[in-house]
Amino acid sequence: MELSAEYLREKLQRDLEAEHVEVEDTTPNRCASSFRVLVVSAKFEGKPLLQRHRLVNTCLAEELLHIHAFEQKTLTPEQWAREQQK
């Protein structure tokens, strides 16, 4: 399976109805495929961090089988707006 940052970004945006997604391919620094993602979605409203991460993991279940390292940050639109003001 050929994984790219663009492919993961589009899938997260579509499946989680995310208003903002950033995907960084961190593979060059490592020996196997690795990615860092930031996902902003209203679907995270009222959910604790673990449930948010489970939503992302479920969305990318098939892809994660081929990813060695995966770092994620999940924010609600309100949290994202506050972070942008910093």
Domains of the chain, each with CATH number or no CATH: 3-78 (3.30.300.90)
Report whether 60 contacts 12 (CB < 8 A). yes
**Residue 14, H or E segment:** helix 5-15
**Average of pLDDT values for 9-35?**
91
> Rounded to whole angstroms, how far apart are CA atoms 61 and 46?
23
Question: 31, 54, 51, 52: which is closest to 40 by C-alpha?
Answer: 52
Per-residue pLDDT tens over the stretch 27-85: 876 667 899 999 999 999 999 999 999 999 999 999 999 999 999 999 999 999 999 99
